[in-house]
Amino acid sequence: MTIIEKIIAAHSVEKAVKPGDIVDIEIDARVARDFGGPNVVKNIETYGLGIADPSMTFFTFDTNPTGSDQKYAANQQVVRVFARKHGIKVFDINNGIGTHTLIREGLAWPGSTAVTTDSHANILGAIGAFGQGMGDKDVAVAFYRGKVWFKVPPSVKINLIGQLPERVTAKDVILNLLHKFGANSLLGASVEFYGEVVDKLTLDQRITIASMGTEMGVIILLFPPNKAIMDFCEKQTGRKLEAVVADADAVYADEFTLDVSTFVPMVSRPGKPHDTVDIDTEKRVKIDSAFVGSCTNGRMEDMRAVANVLKGRKVAPGVVLKIVPATDKIWRQCLDEGLLTIFKDAGALVSNAGCAGCAAGQVGQNGPGEVTISTGNRNFPGKQGKGLVYLASPASAAASAVAGYITTEDDIPDHPAHFDYENEALSFKPAVMHTHPSEEKQVEVKGRVWLIEKDDIDTDMIFHNRYLQITDPEKMGQYIFDNLKGYEDFAKKVKPGDIVITGKNFGAGSSRQQAVDGFKTLGVQAILARSFGAIYERNAINASMPILTYDSLTDIDLHDGDNISLNFETGKLINERNGKSTQITPFSEVQMEIYKNDGLF
């Protein structure tokens, strides 16, 4: 078996598993954040559920550790009260990013399992553990049962050979991998890394690479732990551990060998994390702001790299540099090593530990027309504000802040660029909410088609993060697709009974349940796609929202606005305009069971 297969088998009643198997797996750490946590609490209390084991159950407040938003503050207090009632540990606003906390506190270790409402929980692949971001329904059930159902993914092996060039950082490694594989060519796979260069990677470097597995569309990026990682995890857990390694005869769906000596410093251009290019092609692009932090690049090694660039220098006039360490321990270490003084002397804003701009709840957001270079993991439209976001390494972000334009640490000018801001008024378009009466569950439906021929439609396009505080499903539908170019008025025009058909990797990105529930509010009967983001697929199935995959629809000559009939049980799809039919993937047994039960609960 591969690493992921061994971990899943060890946490199930099965001796061996293979790709496609659906099994119940025991979860070692069941976690919810201040984003998603209130809905987990709501689900548990609504359905009268208990807590399987409070000692294995946790809350982490990392999306808004400043408590700067009244809705977040209220949600955090709801969670605190619930946690006290059930004896659950809360890592509160003074702690930092939850996934990093699991590693630091020894709550995750090589071979362990963890689920959380953070879509970057697969960051635990950095220590050879299985971490998954899941929606609030999944996590509520994990709190209650201690287990969740999971489909064993196929495994892919990537061998990294050669020597990393001097200027190429861990962030550049993952951006080069995104350049190679894009957002969906490895969709739904568990990826294992091997090679001499991999063995030498530090924990911080592994975390940086693993944290962007979600942006690659994979289930997880797994690093077999070396001795240094094992020693660290044994110290954090206080016990002897055994690494999980793949068998010599493990079966992989694919294998790649890449020469890292060809890797170069890169940036992701605004809009798509996988739209990566050599940073030299984007040099001299003026910036308004720079951000250093997030679960991807808020580690101590990142802070030192930034301090090395900023020491004795100033942030360019008209540029704002925001620095947010990933954890409070790292923040304190920056203080002890004198890095905070370097940051402040350079003119940077330093905030308390947390997710920062990625979560729209702390420093790091940008405004309309603002150009930001960021060390985050996502730059979807609207993800970090209303402006444009380039993704880069900490050293490149710091160098760009000093220069006033995108550059690298070895090409910082003696005199920074000077420029004026162009401010644009922020406007919101009101949307109309449509409701529909609930209907009996039926396995065959008919409806009008919305043919949206786009790949990689992410959850920020479906349901933007500025609405994340909404917990009432009936209020979610009005915001569906209002951040998808060309479909901003979808909620006004869609009719109950309509069916959405789109391309690859639909629902990429965040674990937000609202991106599913909003379609149900609007009365959308089903969503068809070539493939779905892993978390979105689970959220939809668990919410009894019919989703199905297809390989091709060319043989039925489907047009936007056509009416189709669709059987969830058989997968037969008929274009009623011309009578042509085709076969798509029907519901699995588990999906049908949950659908007929009207949801996971």
What pLDDT is attached to residue 435?
Answer: 38
Tokens standing for residue 296 = 């991807």
Q: Phi and psi (nearest 5°) for 452?
A: -110, 95
- Does residue 335 contact residue 306 with C-beta atoms inside 8 Å? no
What pLDDT is attached to residue 365?
Answer: 79
- Is 50 exceeded by the pLDDT of residue 426? no
- Does residue 600 contact residue 543 with C-beta atoms inside 8 Å? yes
Percent of the chain with pLDDT over 90: 85
What pLDDT is attached to residue 417?
Answer: 85
CA–centroid distance for 317 within its chain: 33
**How crowded is residue 71: how many other Cβ atoms within 10 Å of its Cβ?**
14
Q: Does the pTM exceed 0.75?
A: yes
What pLDDT is attached to residue 190?
Answer: 98
- Token match 């080069």: residue? 176
Window from 275-279, 404-408, 445-449, 469-473 with minimum mean pLDDT: 469-473
- Is 70 exceeded by the pLDDT of residue 407? yes
Domain 277-403: CATH class, spelled out: alpha beta
Percent of the chain with pLDDT over 70: 96
Q: Which amino acid is present at 72?
A: Y
Q: Which amino acid is present at 396?
A: S
- Is 70 exceeded by the pLDDT of residue 425? no
Integer Cα distance of 244 and 263 in angstroms:
29
What pLDDT is attached to residue 433?
Answer: 38
What pLDDT is attached to residue 432?
Answer: 42
Q: Tens digit of pLDDT for each residue in 251-289?
A: 999 999 999 999 999 999 999 999 999 999 999 999 999
Distances from the Cα of 354 to the Cαs of 331, 360, 378, in angstroms? Answer: 10, 11, 16
385: left (phi > 0), else alpha (psi -120 to 50), else beta?
left
Band (pLDDT 50/70/90 cuts) for residue 473 is: confident
- Is 60 exceeded by the pLDDT of residue 114? yes
* CA-closest candidate to residue 348, choices 316, 308, 315: 315
- Does residue 322 contact residue 349 with C-beta atoms inside 8 Å? yes
| Mean pLDDT, residues 91-97 taken together | 93
Integer Cα distance of 244 and 532 in angstroms:
29
What pLDDT is attached to residue 64?
Answer: 80
Q: Tens digit of pLDDT for each residue in 228-245?
A: 999 999 999 999 999 999
Contacts of 239 (CB under 8 A, 6+ apart): none
Domain 3-262: CATH class, spelled out: alpha beta
| Mean pLDDT, residues 574-598 taken together | 96
Q: Which amino acid is present at 21?
A: D
Distances from the Cα of 301 to the Cαs of 169, 304, 343, in angstroms? Answer: 11, 5, 15
The per-residue pLDDT of the chain, averaged, comes to 93
- Is 60 exceeded by the pLDDT of residue 437? no
- Is 90 exceeded by the pLDDT of residue 470? no
The residues facing 259 across adjacent strands are 161
Q: In terms of DSSP bridges, do strands 147-151 and 22-26 run parallel, antiparallel, or are they unpaired?
A: antiparallel
What pLDDT is attached to residue 70?
Answer: 76
Contacts of 312 (CB under 8 A, 6+ apart): none
Integer Cα distance of 185 and 23 in angstroms:
25
DSSP at 582? E
What stretches of 311-442 show up as alpha helix (H) in DSSP?
A: 328-336, 339-346, 394-403
What pLDDT is attached to residue 419?
Answer: 63
Are 3-262 and 277-403 equal in CATH topology?
yes
Q: Tens digit of pLDDT for each residue in 351-365?
A: 999 988 776 656 777
Higher pLDDT, 53 or 383: 53
- Is 90 exceeded by the pLDDT of residue 337? yes
What pLDDT is attached to residue 524?
Answer: 97
Q: In terms of DSSP bridges, do strands 349-350 and 320-323 run parallel, antiparallel, or are they unpaired?
A: parallel
- Does residue 357 contact residue 383 with C-beta atoms inside 8 Å? no
| Mean pLDDT, residues 556-580 taken together | 97
Q: Tens digit of pLDDT for each residue in 520-534?
A: 999 999 999 999 999
Higher pLDDT, 419 or 306: 306
Integer Cα distance of 442 and 595 in angstroms:
9
* CA-closest candidate to residue 307, choices 402, 426, 203: 402
| Mean pLDDT, residues 181-196 taken together | 96
What pLDDT is attached to residue 420?
Answer: 54
- Is 60 exceeded by the pLDDT of residue 331? yes
| Mean pLDDT, residues 45-56 taken together | 97
CA–centroid distance for 381 within its chain: 15
- Is 70 exceeded by the pLDDT of residue 196? yes
Integer Cα distance of 311 and 280 in angstroms:
24
What pLDDT is attached to residue 215?
Answer: 94
What pLDDT is attached to residue 427?
Answer: 37
What pLDDT is attached to residue 467?
Answer: 87
The SS3 assignment for 369 reads coil
Integer Cα distance of 73 and 366 in angstroms:
22
- Does residue 378 contact residue 357 with C-beta atoms inside 8 Å? no
The residues facing 160 across adjacent strands are 258
The counts of H helices and E strands in the chain are: 20, 25
Q: Hey, what's the torsion of the CAs at 347, 92, 47, 598, to 10 degrees?
A: 30
Superfamily in which the 444-596 domain is placed by CATH: Aconitase, domain 4 (3.20.19.10)
What pLDDT is attached to residue 434?
Answer: 41
Domain spans, the chain: 3-262, 277-403, 444-596
